[in-house]
Structure 1
């Protein structure tokens, strides 16, 4: 497979009479964009905003992030989901860089939703504070789940995915500022020089725990709960084959933007042919029952060994129950002779004294930590809130609460907040681009 991503670097976004791009300026016709969004009869209210790094703006509850892109051959940006099923990972895709589409609930949040601050202390905790963002604030007629802690957020999330393709359509026929090329020869047909290098696979444990459709990550529009671990070409993941689901404590979640720009995949590509032989991606899953977890671990180890992997990186979307999948997978790989590094966050409690993972094993001797989900964060009021800040304490967001006997409410009368890192939107960046570091004592 050969994938070309043509990049257009956005320096400024403004509303205007026409949706267009020129020399770093992205203009959006708000009325036409909102009309497009409201073609979905389930969207009852919608508004668009533009927020930039440094703006004194707080967004909550944030549900999804997507990079605006368009495929030149006419295929759907997210095949099998926003359009007909087709092969991702081949051909040319154009991308608007340094920006994203953020989807925010106008009224209702849930366990899987989070918060973004565009400036101040809170901006340090999430990658999306560094981007110019087109923010869709909307509500739906999905009344049956509004007061449910777990929400599918189907109409809101899909509105964001469709909007990402709509906005990027303005660059479809333009010449990109640069082109990234991703290409791997067939594993058995690589040069002898590459074959001599250590062979590496990347194991991605995507969120798939919910047995009811609609909550989990999707692969080509297919619910990941239905799959067993399988080999995927890394280009497929970078090119829209996978979209984020709506079940996971928010700091641990992988947004669709994270799949589209996965930095671990990109770094493995950079090292391919230099220091390692990048074999590809084993797309695994997360399960509930112990037998299911062990079965998936065996699948992953068998695939890695059959591919000829000397080493593996395992990344876990989530924590808690999924820790058992994460540990079992690493143990199975090590038992198969595949040296493995894990990437995960930890749940060590607010005081940092609890066991970091639900289960541990002495074979986990190379783990990269992305932070403690229970770490307390206090943030001052912001001038502007997009969405409904009360959702943080009212609707069961994973890092917020209505009232605590010691800390009081998450959302204070003056608009300041106290919350766990859990509620920071994709804050732990388990995909590999966390800015957090360890502190020595």
Structure 2
């Protein structure tokens, strides 16, 4: 399979009477864009606000991020989700780089929502502070989950995907500045051509803890809670086969933007044919029951052995309960003679003194840490808030609170905040963005 991603770099975004792209400037017809958003009758309010790097802007509650793209030859940007199912990862896709569509709640947040600061101390904690963000600020009539801590946010998330597809279409007739090419031949041919290189698989443990459908990551529209580990071509993931779910504390979740740009996959591609033979991706579930965890580890190891892998990289989306899947998978692979490296964040408490993962094993002896989800962060007020700042404390966001005997409320009267890293939107960057680690003293 050969995938070409043609890149158009966005240096600035403005509103105009036409949605177009020219010399690094993306212009958006706001009225037309909002009509796309409001195709869903459940959307009761919608606005689009631009947030640029360096501006004194705080965005919360952030629910999702998507890179605007256009699929050459037609077809849904996310098959099985926004349109009919077909295989992706082959052909050409146009991508607007340096920007994202952020889905932001006008009022109501939840456990899985997060915060982005475009300037100051908070900006260093998330990849999205460096992007030109098209913030879809919206509300719905989904009263059945308005006051629930855990929300599916379906109408808002799907609106964001439609908006990203609409914006991406503006470059369909243009020549891109660069083209990234991702190609893996069939495994038998790669084994012949790279016979002397170690064979490596990437194991992605995507979020799938919720038994009720609608909260978990989707593969071609299929809820990952209902799957067993499966082998996928890395191009499929980079080209829209997987979308993010609504479940998981915000700092440790993987947004759809993350799947579209997965740095770890791109890094393995970079080494392919040089230092490794990159075989592909094993996508694994993260279910709750012990039997399901054992089955997943068994399937991952079986697939890796059948593929002839010498080594594996395992990355988990989330922490806590998924740590058991993470460690079980690493242990199983190591016992099969497959050298394994793990990628994860840690939950070591506000003082950093607690056990980093829920469960550990001596065979998990090569783990890359992406930081402590419980680390306390204090941030100064911002001149502008997109969304609703009070949602951080009021609505059960995983890193915020309404009151604390020692620390007081997360949101202070002057607009400054104190919170756990948990609330930084996709801030741990386990997919490969992370600049954080842990330090031993």
- Paired with 1:246 and 1:36, the residues of 2 have a C-alpha distance of 22
String of CA shifts for 1:351-407, please: whole Å, max 9, x gaps.
111100000000010000000000000001100001111111111100000100110
String of CA shifts for 1:204-258, please: whole Å, max 9, x gaps.
0000010111000000011101110000000000000000000000000000000
- Paired with 1:116 and 1:130, the residues of 2 have a C-alpha distance of 10
Which residue does the alignment assign to 2:233?
233
- Paired with 1:81 and 1:68, the residues of 2 have a C-alpha distance of 16
Matched ranges for 1:1-400 at <5 A = 1-190=1-190, 192-400=192-400
What displacement does 1:435 show? Answer: 1.4
- Paired with 1:336 and 1:231, the residues of 2 have a C-alpha distance of 18
Q: Secondary structure at the match of 2:194?
A: helix
- Paired with 1:230 and 1:17, the residues of 2 have a C-alpha distance of 46
Task: Show structure 2 runs of 5+ residues with no match.
Answer: none
What displacement does 1:437 show? Answer: 4.1
What displacement does 1:172 show? Answer: 1.0
What displacement does 1:318 show? Answer: 0.3
TM-score, scaled to structure 1: 0.99
- Paired with 2:233 and 2:204, the residues of 1 have a C-alpha distance of 12
Name segments (4+ residues, structure 1) moved above 2 Å: 190-193, 437-441
Which residue does the alignment assign to 1:409?
409
- Paired with 1:201 and 1:190, the residues of 2 have a C-alpha distance of 13
Q: Does the aligned pair in 1 maintain the 2:109–2:391 contact within 8 Å?
A: yes
- Paired with 2:287 and 2:69, the residues of 1 have a C-alpha distance of 32
Over the aligned positions, Cα root-mean-square deviation in angstroms equals: 0.8
String of CA shifts for 1:44-81, please: whole Å, max 9, x gaps.
00000111100000000000000000101111000000
- Paired with 2:420 and 2:364, the residues of 1 have a C-alpha distance of 26
- Paired with 1:112 and 1:265, the residues of 2 have a C-alpha distance of 25
Q: Secondary structure at the match of 1:334?
A: helix
TM-score, scaled to structure 2: 0.99
String of CA shifts for 1:242-276, please: whole Å, max 9, x gaps.
00000000000000000000000001001000000
What displacement does 1:190 show? Answer: 2.2
- Paired with 1:4 and 1:200, the residues of 2 have a C-alpha distance of 23
- Paired with 1:17 and 1:236, the residues of 2 have a C-alpha distance of 35
Q: Secondary structure at the match of 1:39?
A: coil
- Paired with 2:439 and 2:293, the residues of 1 have a C-alpha distance of 33
- Paired with 1:368 and 1:425, the residues of 2 have a C-alpha distance of 20
Q: Secondary structure at the match of 1:190?
A: helix
Which residue does the alignment assign to 1:432?
432
What displacement does 1:195 show? Answer: 2.2
- Paired with 2:236 and 2:156, the residues of 1 have a C-alpha distance of 24
Q: Secondary structure at the match of 2:330?
A: helix
What displacement does 1:173 show? Answer: 1.7
Q: Secondary structure at the match of 1:174?
A: coil
Q: Does the aligned pair in 1 maintain the 2:370–2:438 contact within 8 Å?
A: no
- Paired with 1:129 and 1:299, the residues of 2 have a C-alpha distance of 38
Q: Secondary structure at the match of 2:406?
A: coil
- Paired with 1:35 and 1:288, the residues of 2 have a C-alpha distance of 40
- Paired with 1:184 and 1:198, the residues of 2 have a C-alpha distance of 16
Q: Secondary structure at the match of 2:209?
A: coil
Q: How many equivalent residue pairs?
A: 441
What displacement does 1:36 show? Answer: 1.3
Moved more, 183-192 or 320-329: 183-192
